[in-house]
Structure 1
Amino acid sequence: MKRILALSACAMALAAPSFADEGMWTFDNFPADAVKAKYGVSITQKWLDDVRAAAVRLSGGCSASVVTGSGLVLTNHHCVRDCAQDLSTASTNYITDGFMAAKREDEKLCPGMQAEILDGISDVTARVNAASEGKTGADYLKARDAAIAAIEKEGCTGKEDKFRCQVITLYQGGQYKLYTYRKYADVRLVFAPEEPMAFFGGDPDNFNFPRYDLDFSMVRLYENGKPVVTPKHLKWTDAEPKVGQPVFVAGNPGSTSRLNTLEQLQGERDIDLPDILLMLSEFRGRLIRFSEESPEKARTAQTTLFGIENSYKALKGRFEALLDPKMMATKKAADDDLKAKVKADPKLAAAIGDPWNDIAKIEQERVNLQGDYNWLEARAGFRSSLFRYARVLVRAAEERGKPNGDRLREYGDSRLPLLKKNLLDAKPVYPDLEQLCLEFWLSKLRENLTADAAGTKLFLGKRSPEALAAELAKSKLGDPAFRKQLWEGGLAAIKASDDPMIKFVLATDAASRSARKAFEDKIAGPEDRATEAVAKARFAVYGTKTYPDATFSLRLSYGAVEGWNEKGKFVEPFTYYGGLYERATGEEPFKLPPRWVEAKGKLNEKTVFDFATTNDIIGGNSGSPLISAKGEVLGAVFDGNIESLGGDFWYDGRVNRTVVASSAAITEALKKIYHQDGLVKELMAK
């Protein structure tokens, strides 16, 4: 188990200078002066505006960037896996074999994918705070969420067809910002390499370095059936990166816990992560067994298995990070320092109260409510598309009849268009895989809640998990036309439906909602209120010279191309094409696709393939462009090293590294391996 000693999250809480290149900064609070002082480059407002206008957020949880004037977007291969899976058939496997559109007419719609580009930021903190002033628990949560729903709706009224408005919570409730996005609902797959190249080395190499992954793909933005004209795009370059070169990552890091209190981290370490890791490990075993039953089952399960294995390895690293006693001790010291400074200011102490004690009590209460909440609500269906469709249809039919501010937050007016797109876009549903997911969920529900629990009796009745799963997997909800019929028919059509999954959700959803309400009233609401108070204390004591935790919203990090020392050995920051062929064994997961075997000798062995930088990233940054000070794309961020898995809680500039697929390697592969002359010409256009 790794022991990482530098704890920048704690240093940040103590208001000390950030270690090295720490920080996922918002575009309206980027430390340009610090970058100038360290690297000697000037990041102007124009530079920030130009990068922001080309940075893309993908609805599947990834980042991307516009790289040509015709809406061409660079991202990772693993960010379009779902798209490639959805477009594949029993006879055509776009994941294994890759996808290459010969012409624009061959570019294929990615079901459910939406691309968003940040258009503007406005501060709405005062309005949200005013709405929730003096309220606690469930009343606080309801007032806050109603205010957010109103702000989002008002922000996009009259322009909902092209824009999406989202209130982003920053500094754990210390700030609220309205982000207005230009959205593109027609995103089409242009190019994806074979998975054996995009994920060369497989799970053994995942989160490690050296790497030899060509983890990139291209999609294109369309509107009204035509490619979008995008004059504000990043400039592509086939120049190779240099050691020490200043570089920037513009992307949407998903979630970090660097501002959490000690008690919150202990709860994650002692309760959440052990449970999740055990669950993922068991489900992984079931998926592997399922995949061994036939080639077709292996094909249909491959994307799900990839996601489970990736999540398991990432969360295992996160768990190991929290086992570091020095990290936890330093976090305690940071909390104690902030508490002491609050106590020393009577006026601040009176205003803040003791939110740390409140959080500690909430963490103790969490154990009593988390079981029902997890298995009846948060994990319900466990990756079953049929269950997800049914729940969305049932809840949307009920929620749309309520005032906007009274709905479950995911059914607010500003969020319905994307929810509807995900519901109605045509995607394949695999009944055998559905049955496997449902069996697993129902068996774990019974195991964790016990056979005599009210929730178990309601959901299973006298049926076994296997029998009920087989029945539910016969649902007709895999047909998008049927889903559309129910969506448009509303609550009356839902209640009249004889579909087994619809009937099941109708019969059980009240219990799921009840578990959610109890959890939000007693845990989520009070904890959000308490963490907001801690954030206000931190602002009062340390100011706003730090960055907020990641929230899957646009951020910018800075750093340099650098290697690092690991166990007394220096790790070079570059890999090269020549090393790829040395690493290939001819056996999975180090087996090259045929066209790559045939191309040996045609590639420049000294071309930089993948490389490492000191940029501070986390999950959600996948697909982010790595940008030079000149605004050129040097590659696509696709991973971090094993040390970076503690990045949820801290950043250690000595060893945390971002891993990038170089634009030089991408360009050479497009030319010499894939013969994509048209794509290269578009990318290199002056």
Structure 2
Amino acid sequence: MLLVFLPIYIWADEGMWLPCCLSKQTKQVMKDMGLNLTPRQLYNPGGAALSNAVVSFGGFCSGVVVSPDGLVFTNHHCGFDAIRQHSTVKHDYLRNGFVADSLSDELPNPDLFVSFLVRTEDVTERILQALPQDVTEDNRSLIVDSLSTLIADEAVKNDTLLRAVVSSFYAGNEYYLSVYKDYYDVRLVYAPPSSVGKFGGDTDNWVWPRHTGDFSVFRIYADTHNEPAAYSKDNVPYHPDYYAPISLAGYKEGSFCMTMGYPGTTSRYLSSYGVEERMNADNMARIDVRAIKQAIWKDAMEKSDAVRIKYASKYAQSANYWKNSIGMNQSIKKLNIIGKKRRLEHQLTEWIHRKPEERNKYAGILTELEDSYRNRYKNARAMAYFGECFANGPELVTAAWSVLNFDFEAEKSVLEERVRQLLELYANIDLDIDKKVFVAMLKEYAAVVEPESLSETYATIEKKFKGDYQAYVDDLYSHTELDTPRGFERVVKKDSTYVLFEDPAISFVIDMLVKSYELSAAADDDNMKIEKNERLLNEAVREMESDKDFYPDANSTMRFSFGMIGGYSPKDALEYTYYTTIKGIFDKIREYKGDSDFEVIPSVIDLLENRDFGRYAAEDGNMNVCFISDNDITGGNSGSGMFNGNGELIGLAFDGNWEAMSSDIIYEPNLQRCIGVDIRYVLYMIEKYGKSTRLINELKLVE
């Protein structure tokens, strides 16, 4: 029966906890489960601690520093775009892998940075005290934003190398300041072949059992004072004040396991009505639209290595959360998540009725949430499809939007970086593919939304092109100057013969912006009511269960989770063990013969067949590849270190499991698992495949 109220009753291994703010209850649970470190060894602003070795990698993944010279371990899929950018048909690092034989061979990545957390501070009281008693929701947002900016600016005013952010927690009931130091010179050091780092591809994504060597290696560089600096040949390896030791002892079922990283977003306290909208609007738009776009991309990628390299990263990023959305919707239905939410909300309603002092504050919030979500559903669904079809659709639209919003008044360094990013975008567009995507997106959007959600472009297509989407797209691409960088160059040179706002690509973007604004504005009132009542719902649930130990939803701030290594039973009569070995790689190669997701290059097969595992072998002499624990995980956790009770690295988290894809909404303790790559397999591939003993020698290995 406890499963009905999972958002209230927090299980020992559930939660994404703030390192700064552990309760006595949580500390004791961790100790009882097997953690041998003190709280100050986990998080200690101004001193050495395990959290100092954990980085936000690029703002979208996590990583862990593992050497005194700034080596960072993260996932292969986190480093995938950087690996792709350095790849060519001649030097195909995606297919064959990459190893730098010396510091001078390590490859810079202008778009990458890592962030170290300096400190976290609770600023809730300062912000909430500034809010007038009867403030409207829109004014509340303005005040919170203004005060958050002021607090962040104050925190870094004496140190220009720091960055500060105030983030909302518990749906806006609490606020915390996080101060970071960012390093911008991050170089690629090692990447396994994709047939290791991406083994299983889309087929195995979010699935256990897994056999993916999902890792890559980078190095942080700094100036001669060990401070952040833009890329320079004069920079030197960064020297951290703490780096993670690595265990070669492995793990057993029931072993303590802790992850530390930067999980992106969860919605554990979201109302049942919010879950319904997410299913039927956001997730369905992602499922429907990306399936169409990815099919076009994949067909072209399979016909050309040059296209494959151009589109590999885009395809992987798109497919990742496409499959996630499919699994989430299936899990929400199968596990009756909405029913569980409704029962919780019924319990809350009864509690409110029993508490006269709470009636004025909380009475009606669920009714208003139901009404507001219902009122905005049509526009929310249209906006979701709009975003997937156009904002996240044809790359010509992305390029045109970038040119339209280009800030020519920015500082020189910022200007140069944005020009570089724009040219990089153009370098990776195939116009024939993009036209196919454009036509498909126009058709799909028109097919799924109400007529009033269509922009003026559709009237033009009907009138001028007799409803022929292909004819419209062909005409647009033949007349725009923005299908290549030449249009941007004409703007830069102030070419008087070129009027940017008359370019058909810009006209399309502006038309889309107008319609987007109309759709958004139509839902403004309901948006404000939803924001307010979701916040009150969050507050009410925590008040009702004030004796419980709550954790906030993930919001890209540093968190850790703790749990145990162990298998699970996804359904009757089926039991999954807690680790996989290289035997499963060969089994899948045979089972999926001819499937590109399971193709392994001969040099890797030869290595694995040789079975020279050395000190990286498990106790039984085999090579473990992946393992699972019941740690809490979501997007952004990819690359998080998985640590034993002594704070030694035993793996890198890279995925959740299919049966618990609704975990962003409710944690299911019997089903949810965190999938990690065994650190011994990582080291084996570095030393035996990459023959890079120089990297192994940097590490602190605990035998």
Both proteins in one fold, TM over 0.5: yes
For 1:538, give the aligned amino acid: V
Partner of 1:634: 650
Conserved in 1, the CA contact under 8 Å of 2:639 and 2:653? yes
Partner of 1:575: 580
Alignment of 1:568-647 (within 5 A): 568-585=573-590, 587-588=594-595, 589-599=597-607, 600-604=609-613, 606-647=622-663
- Whole-angstrom distance in 2 between the partners of 1:348 and 1:480: 63
Aligned Cα RMSD in Å?
3.5
Alignment of 1:352-363 (within 5 A): 352-363=362-373
- Whole-angstrom distance in 2 between the partners of 1:621 and 1:515: 33
- Whole-angstrom distance in 2 between the partners of 1:21 and 1:454: 47
For 1:33, give the aligned amino acid: Q
Partner of 1:253: 263
Q: Which has the larger displacement, 453-462 or 241-250?
A: 453-462
Conserved in 2, the CA contact under 8 Å of 1:369 and 1:518? yes
Gaps of 5+ in 2: 223-228, 614-620
Partner of 1:542: 545
Conserved in 2, the CA contact under 8 Å of 1:169 and 1:175? yes
Partner of 1:552: 556
Q: Aligned match of 2:333 in 309, 323, 342? A: 323
- Whole-angstrom distance in 2 between the partners of 1:164 and 1:610: 36
Partner of 1:59: 58
- Whole-angstrom distance in 1 between the partners of 2:460 and 2:528: 30
- Whole-angstrom distance in 2 between the partners of 1:159 and 1:538: 40
- Whole-angstrom distance in 1 between the partners of 2:92 and 2:296: 22
Conserved in 2, the CA contact under 8 Å of 1:318 and 1:646? yes
Deviation for aligned residue 1:46: 2.4
For 2:676, give the aligned amino acid: V
- Whole-angstrom distance in 2 between the partners of 1:391 and 1:316: 30
Conserved in 2, the CA contact under 8 Å of 1:111 and 1:422? no
Conserved in 2, the CA contact under 8 Å of 1:394 and 1:494? no
Distance change in 2, residues 1:565/1:345 (3 Å): same
Distance change in 2, residues 1:626/1:422 (3 Å): farther
Matched, 1:73 2:76: no
Matched, 1:277 2:277: no
- Whole-angstrom distance in 2 between the partners of 1:506 and 1:292: 35
Distance change in 2, residues 1:151/1:279 (3 Å): same
- Whole-angstrom distance in 2 between the partners of 1:246 and 1:493: 68
Partner of 1:37: 32
Alignment of 1:122-137 (within 5 A): 122-130=121-129, 132-133=131-132, 134-137=134-137
Secondary structure of residue in 1 paired with 2:560: strand
Matched, 1:110 2:109: yes
Conserved in 2, the CA contact under 8 Å of 1:429 and 1:478? no
**Runs of 4+ residues deviating >6 angstroms:** 416-419, 492-495
Partner of 1:435: 435
Partner of 1:406: none
For 1:86, give the aligned amino acid: Q
Q: TM-score w.r.t. structure 1 length?
A: 0.86
Distance change in 2, residues 1:20/1:279 (3 Å): same
- Whole-angstrom distance in 2 between the partners of 1:318 and 1:289: 26
Gaps of 5+ in 1: 402-412
Alignment of 1:110-509 (within 5 A): 110-130=109-129, 132-133=131-132, 134-157=134-157, 159-160=159-160, 162-223=161-222, 224=229, 225=232, 226=235, 227-324=237-334, 326-374=336-384, 380-392=390-402, 394-395=404-405, 397=407, 423=421, 426=424, 428-432=427-431, 433-449=433-449, 455-457=455-457, 462=464, 465-467=469-471, 469=473, 471=476, 476=482, 501-502=505-506, 504-506=508-510, 508-509=512-513
For 1:572, give the aligned amino acid: T
Deviation for aligned residue 1:391: 3.0
Distance change in 2, residues 1:327/1:493 (3 Å): farther
Q: Which has the larger displacement, 594-603 or 186-195?
A: 594-603
- Whole-angstrom distance in 1 between the partners of 2:32 and 2:423: 49
Secondary structure of residue in 2 paired with 1:335: helix
Q: How many residues align?
A: 659
For 2:263, give the aligned amino acid: P
Distance change in 2, residues 1:76/1:279 (3 Å): same
Q: Deviations over 1:416-460 (max 9, x none)?
A: 999969956845322334434433433333334467766143796
- Whole-angstrom distance in 1 between the partners of 2:683 and 2:68: 18
Conserved in 1, the CA contact under 8 Å of 2:73 and 2:216? yes
For 1:570, give the aligned amino acid: E
Q: Which has the larger displacement, 326-335 or 140-149?
A: 140-149
Matched, 1:526 2:529: yes
Partner of 2:100: 101
Secondary structure of residue in 2 paired with 1:380: helix
Report percent identity of matched pairs.
Answer: 22
- Whole-angstrom distance in 2 between the partners of 1:219 and 1:503: 42
For 1:178, give the aligned amino acid: L
For 1:188, give the aligned amino acid: R
- Whole-angstrom distance in 2 between the partners of 1:478 and 1:53: 44
Conserved in 2, the CA contact under 8 Å of 1:35 and 1:42? no
Conserved in 2, the CA contact under 8 Å of 1:118 and 1:181? yes
Secondary structure of residue in 1 paired with 2:541: helix
Partner of 1:410: none
Q: Deviations over 1:49-89 (max 9, x none)?
A: 31221111123521111111222111000111111222222
- Whole-angstrom distance in 2 between the partners of 1:192 and 1:591: 17
Secondary structure of residue in 1 paired with 2:212: coil
Q: Which has the larger displacement, 87-96 or 331-340?
A: 87-96
Q: TM-score w.r.t. structure 2 length?
A: 0.84
- Whole-angstrom distance in 2 between the partners of 1:45 and 1:484: 57
Deviation for aligned residue 1:194: 0.8
Q: Deviations over 1:189-232 (max 9, x none)?
A: 11111111112222332222222211100111223332222132
Conserved in 2, the CA contact under 8 Å of 1:152 and 1:178? yes
Conserved in 1, the CA contact under 8 Å of 2:389 and 2:442? no
- Whole-angstrom distance in 2 between the partners of 1:280 and 1:472: 22
Secondary structure of residue in 2 paired with 1:121: strand
Matched, 1:47 2:42: yes
Distance change in 2, residues 1:169/1:158 (3 Å): same
Conserved in 2, the CA contact under 8 Å of 1:140 and 1:529? no
Matched, 1:669 2:685: yes
Q: Which has the larger displacement, 163-172 or 549-558?
A: 163-172
